[in-house]
Structure 1
Amino acid sequence: MMMPGKLQGSAAGNRTSYSWLTAALIRAAVVILCVMTAVFFLIRIVPGDPAKMILGEYSTPEAIAAMHHTLGLDLPLWEQFIRFVKLLFTSGDTGNSIVSGTSTRVLIAERAPVTMLLIGMACVIAIVIALLLATVAATNKDKLADHLIRIFPAITLGMPIFWVGILFIMLLSVRLRWFPVGGVGEGWSGMLYSLTLPAVTVAFSQIPTLVRSLRAQMLEVLESDFVVTLRAARIPGRVILFKHVLRNSALPTLMLLGVNISYLIGGTLVVEQVFGIKGIGSLLFTSISNRDFPVIQGIALYCAVSVVIISLLVEILAKWLDPRTKGTR
């Protein structure tokens, strides 16, 4: 029979967990609202008149005024903002494209699958390579392999991702012909094959920080008392490494990956342009050059919301996996 004290402790722990989750959801909602406001006003601060860009340099003042009325740009700024928020919450849209007249939601939905697949592949590649390199480095502390792996992050962190992509294209696509130069293949196999090199390029920017974090955590766990006890009990080294060391070292690296997800998404958009992939990145750069601010707003908002949601899920997952965090927030 459970004691009253234990029941009270369990109820208090549940209340603490619920209050932490509520606070996390409120923080995420506030961040999304701030992003919405910032995206709306920052786009309008940028110099240039969308009406002139649509009608051309030699358009008449009357035509420009008519286009302003069509786009709603003749309204007060606060009224434009209210219409923007209302449209966003009622239809999940930021308006029609100034260039094509197509709904922003439709344009983004057409390009999103390729971008999401590229991000997913980059995450898997980054995690697998980081696990391998960090494990080799931690199990060979202060040896040649450890020194070489520790030099790797110091060199690669300063490389711009677009430059890395160009190098990969020149070496692996043009010279060795292992991968296509750009574009997206047909079918699942063709798509995965053509996105492999761009995914490796995106992962290249995340691997150094993940390797350094995971290596440091693994060394700390390897030197802990419970690992010494397991070794004294003659538990096989592989069991200790994969069942205990990696499990206890993965949470901080998982949190780091959640924090860096915004850099991962931003790097993906740049890499799409380098490899000529028709994803959200190419749509964003085209919209910027055309000053198609409804599409720019939509992409910025969807990317920001994705970052907030993924970060929130990673935080919840880390709290659920690590019993030490229960009741601390």
Structure 2
Amino acid sequence: MEDREAAARTQSASTRAARLPRLLRAAGGGLARIVPVTLGVVVAVFFLLRMVPGDPAAMILGERATPQAISELRAKLGLDQPLWQQFLDFLGQVFTRFDTGNSLVTGASTRELVFERAPISLGIVGLAVVFAVLIAVPLALTAALRKDGIADHVIRVIPAVGMGMPLFWVGLLLILLFAVRLRWLPVGGVGDGPGEPLRSLVLPALAVAIGLAPPLIRSLRAQLIEVLSADFVTTLRAARVPRRTILVRHVLRGAAIPTIALLGVNTAYLIGGTLVVEKVFGINGIGTLLFQSIGSRDFPVVQGVALYCAVLVVIVTAVSSGLSALLDPRLRRGIGAGS
């Protein structure tokens, strides 16, 4: 008996040891894309911004600036250098200090400006993911359990309607309902009192979640229907396993793998939607900083926001890949490539 238990423990330990490299490869594959993606974003943003008409130095000094003052400011900011020299200097800043330089308007470091406002934007992103999951899972599960019924038909309409609604319009509707009419939540900005910062982020996050939930509902419903018709579910039912256990431990876990991957793919939409709704709700986050910098032709700040958002997208995609691999039953049983 003791020998069998020891053998079982040894086998379990070896299975866990074999599982770890696969999980690391799943997440590492996404993280390995950070450098090429970052480089691509840096190149695209650098050259696209300089194709926009207008002189940043003239915009900073205003309409009454003299040509001499504009020329002096251009020299101070390095804008009089050849384009290739500006690009090489910019690459050096990015890959040595992970910064895109100082703001042309305020003189502050781009990294400091972005990191100062990042907690607000990341808070909206996190809440939006939570709300999207809370919306998608019950609706998809209801539709799958009542396939081709009235509830299923009604829920299947939701993705088509939700994906056709602009985020700024959804945000305005939420303000009218929850802030103006019901007075449950603040209209805009971020409050300072106890619990006020979180209450201020609820409506923006809900607006982003409403745009994110439709593809999750569609994907999860399709996967749930497929898993519910699998042979192992029939076997579990015949064995009189409780229905809740079947749904939570087996059906939802198996169906969630593609949906988690889809959530990672939609990270770019999620972050982009967050930047838009910040403007609607008057929240001083990264989105507001981006729009202000675009209006003033503040190259370093726009490039910095694009850079950090691109890196965040790659990291979240890598995490979702690792989580999908962790939930994969083939990986948990040690079945897969190389086993």
1:77 corresponds to which letter in structure 2? Answer: L
Structure 1 position 277 matched with structure 2 position 280 = no
CA contact (8 A) 1:210 1:257 kept: yes
Unaligned 5+ runs, structure 2 = 1-6, 9-14
The aligned runs of 1:1-329 (5 Å cut-off) are 24-187=30-193, 189-324=195-330, 326-327=336-337
Deviation per residue, 1:90-137 (Å, 9 max, x gap)? 222111111111111111111111111111011111111111111111
Cα shift at 1:203: 0.3
CA contact (8 A) 1:95 1:103 kept: yes
CA contact (8 A) 2:37 2:310 kept: no
Other structure's SS at 2:68 match: helix
Whole-angstrom CA distance in 1 between matches of 2:22 and 2:134: 35
CA contact (8 A) 1:172 1:179 kept: yes
Other structure's SS at 1:137 match: helix
Whole-angstrom CA distance in 1 between matches of 2:286 and 2:315: 18
Cα shift at 1:256: 0.3
Whole-angstrom CA distance in 2 between matches of 1:210 and 1:17: 24
CA contact (8 A) 2:143 2:152 kept: yes
Cα shift at 1:58: 3.3
Whole-angstrom CA distance in 2 between matches of 1:17 and 1:279: 34
Whole-angstrom CA distance in 2 between matches of 1:103 and 1:18: 34
- Cα distance change of structure 1 residues 18 and 241 upon mapping to structure 2, 3 Å threshold: closer
Cα shift at 1:17: 7.4
Other structure's SS at 1:45 match: coil
1:75 corresponds to which letter in structure 2? Answer: Q
Cα shift at 1:57: 2.2
Whole-angstrom CA distance in 1 between matches of 2:302 and 2:296: 10
CA contact (8 A) 2:31 2:314 kept: no
Cα shift at 1:48: 1.1
Whole-angstrom CA distance in 2 between matches of 1:190 and 1:13: 43
Calculate the aligned-residue CA RMSD, in Å.
Answer: 2.3
CA contact (8 A) 2:26 2:318 kept: no
Other structure's SS at 2:50 match: helix
1:218 corresponds to which letter in structure 2? Answer: L
TM score, norm. by length of structure 1:
0.91
Task: State, as a whole percentage, how many aligned pairs show the same letter.
Answer: 57
Aligned residue pairs total: 322
1:97 corresponds to which letter in structure 2? Answer: S
CA contact (8 A) 1:133 1:149 kept: yes
1:327 corresponds to which letter in structure 2? Answer: A
- Cα distance change of structure 1 residues 286 and 18 upon mapping to structure 2, 3 Å threshold: closer
- Cα distance change of structure 1 residues 181 and 19 upon mapping to structure 2, 3 Å threshold: closer
Unaligned 5+ runs, structure 1 = 3-8
TM score, norm. by length of structure 2:
0.89
More contact order relative to length (CA 8 Å, sep ≥ 6):
2
Whole-angstrom CA distance in 1 between matches of 2:291 and 2:277: 12
CA contact (8 A) 1:55 1:64 kept: yes
Deviation per residue, 1:133-185 (Å, 9 max, x gap)? 11111111122211111111111110000001011111221112121111111
Cα shift at 1:18: 7.0
Deviation per residue, 1:283-319 (Å, 9 max, x gap)? 1111111111111111111111100111122112222
Whole-angstrom CA distance in 2 between matches of 1:123 and 1:151: 21
- Cα distance change of structure 1 residues 23 and 181 upon mapping to structure 2, 3 Å threshold: closer
